[in-house]
């Protein structure tokens, strides 16, 4: 009985924060809304039995990536966004197209005969570690190289030209 209540509370919170992300003019408010989205998504991951993913979501996304975002917003002193002719056209054309797309997806996915139930499947971190370091060892090493290249690229790109 607790599962549907928690799901609906946090799904509503998630969608409301996403709407707030779109509605806010100042980027810092959008960033804070995105943190709310990520934390409520991590609660949903816990409901799905993905404890490792929930922890990584809070630590990496809400912790590291959003700190980077807020740091850049503060560094660049980003103000309110200005609207141009192009953005009004994008709103006029994009809103119907995206709502059509989302409605179609909801229609197709909502008709799926409900598969698994919740609370039955827990992915222990130990098994994820076995998968990650045995079956997915090569992709894991490749992503570590990717992170290394990203660090070097960020340093080179953000460096002030002498």
Partner 1 sequence: MVPISYYLVLSAILFGMGVLGFLVKRNVITLFMSIELMLNAVNLAFVAFATQWNALSGHVFVFFVMVVAAAEAAVGLAIIIAVYRTRQTLNPDRVDLLKL
Which CB atom, from 116 or from 162, has the smaller least distance to partner 1?
Answer: 116
- Closest distance of CB 148 from partner 1, Å: 9
- Closest distance of CB 162 from partner 1, Å: 13
Query: If we measure between CA atoms, which residue out of 20, 68, 70, 13 comes closest to residue 38?
Result: 13
For residue 88, CA distances in Å to 19, 130, 132, 133, 161 come to 18, 50, 46, 49, 37
Contacts of 37 (CB under 8 A, 6+ apart): 14, 17, 18, 21
Which CB atom, from 111 or from 162, has the smaller least distance to partner 1?
Answer: 111
Contacts of 112 (CB under 8 A, 6+ apart): none
SS3 154: helix
- Closest distance of CB 9 from partner 1, Å: 12
Q: State how far the Cα of 20 lies from the Cα of 32, in Å rounded to an integer.
A: 10
């Amino acid at each position: 009985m607790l599962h549907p209540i928690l799901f609906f509370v946090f799904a509503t919170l998630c969608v409301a924060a996403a709407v707030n992300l779109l509605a806010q003019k100042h980027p810092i408010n959008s960033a804070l809304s995105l943190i709310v989205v990520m934390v409520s998504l991590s609660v949903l991951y816990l409901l799905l039995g993905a404890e490792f993913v929930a922890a990584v979501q809070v630590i990496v996304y809400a912790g590291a990536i959003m700190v980077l975002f807020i740091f850049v917003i503060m560094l660049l002193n980003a103000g309110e966004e200005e609207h141009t002719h192009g953005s009004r056209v994008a709103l006029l054309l994009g809103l119907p197209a995206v709502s059509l797309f989302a409605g179609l997806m909801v229609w197709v996915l909502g008709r799926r005969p409900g598969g698994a139930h919740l609370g039955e499947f827990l992915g222990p971190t130990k098994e994820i570690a076995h998968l990650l370091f045995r079956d997915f060892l090569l992709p894991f090493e490749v992503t570590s190289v990717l992170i290394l290249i990203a660090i070097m690229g960020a340093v080179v790109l953000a460096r002030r030209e002498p």
